[in-house]
Amino acid sequence: MKNIVILISGRGSNMEALIAARDAGNLPVNIAAVISNRPDAQGLETAARAGIVTHYVDHKGFAGRAAFDAALAECIDCFQPDLVVLAGFMRILTDSFVSHYAGRLMNIHPSLLPSFPGLHTHQRALEEGVRIHGCTVHFVTPTLDHGPVIIQAAVPVLDGDDENALAARILVQEHKIYPQAVRWFAEDKLQLDGGRVRLAAELSDQAALVSPQLA
């Protein structure tokens, strides 16, 4: 079974979705550790309650990104992960960190990339008046919120939406697509082909999810 390490900075609801999928028998991985850059991240308590090893590497204790990333990688590598899963990990990572985990570093982002990389995605989607918004799981490259896309889910933007309503509609989809992407990785059903992800043939129609309102 593959080893994964999950990195969080806050609430950890995507991490919880991964733990729940594992507990339900839908995610054949060993969650070796949950690591945060913030000692007070709410998700650390949730993970500990689930019996998972937790650690923090406080970014405030380091002079710069390179020193922090080196300490973080040292902590992660103690667990010999096959995959490192960024689940609301709110730090920009150095190129050398990303290269070290090339092909085994995944992120979830609350937009349909390449639209709206960066922060405040829901507010920006509302300001632009887009009618379809969503979330993306992708392999990480040195460019922020960029990299080969594994799976995306789309939801409608409704006229009455505010940022919270839109975020909540998308979070439901995040909690579906992240366990799905990690499961495909665990089952060796993902292949990187240049800048694209190739899925096992039987999955080719499962990597684009649309919410019931759009179907």
What are the catalytic residues?
109
Smallest gap, in angstroms, from Cβ of residue 201 to ligand GRF? 29
In 3-state terms, the chain is what percent helix, strand and coil (to 5)? 35, 25, 40
Cα 34 to chain centroid, rounded: 13
Smallest gap, in angstroms, from Cβ of residue 150 to ligand GRF? 14
Q: Catalog residues that contact ligand GRF under the rule CB under 6 A.
A: 8, 10-14, 87-88, 108-110, 135, 174
* Residue closer to ligand GRF, measured from CB, 88 or 147: 88
Question: Of all residues in this chain, which one has the CB nearest to ligand GRF in the complex?
Answer: 88
* Residue closer to ligand GRF, measured from CB, 11 or 55: 11
* Residue closer to ligand GRF, measured from CB, 23 or 74: 23
* Residue closer to ligand GRF, measured from CB, 153 or 197: 153
Cβ contacts of 42-45, under 8 Å, gap ≥ 24: 42/10, 42/11, 42/12, 43/8, 43/10, 43/11, 43/12, 43/13, 43/15, 43/16, 43/87, 43/88, 44/8, 44/12
Smallest gap, in angstroms, from Cβ of residue 165 to ligand GRF? 14
Smallest gap, in angstroms, from Cβ of residue 81 to ligand GRF? 18
Distances 75 to 35, 50, 56, 119 between C-alpha atoms, Å = 8, 20, 9, 27
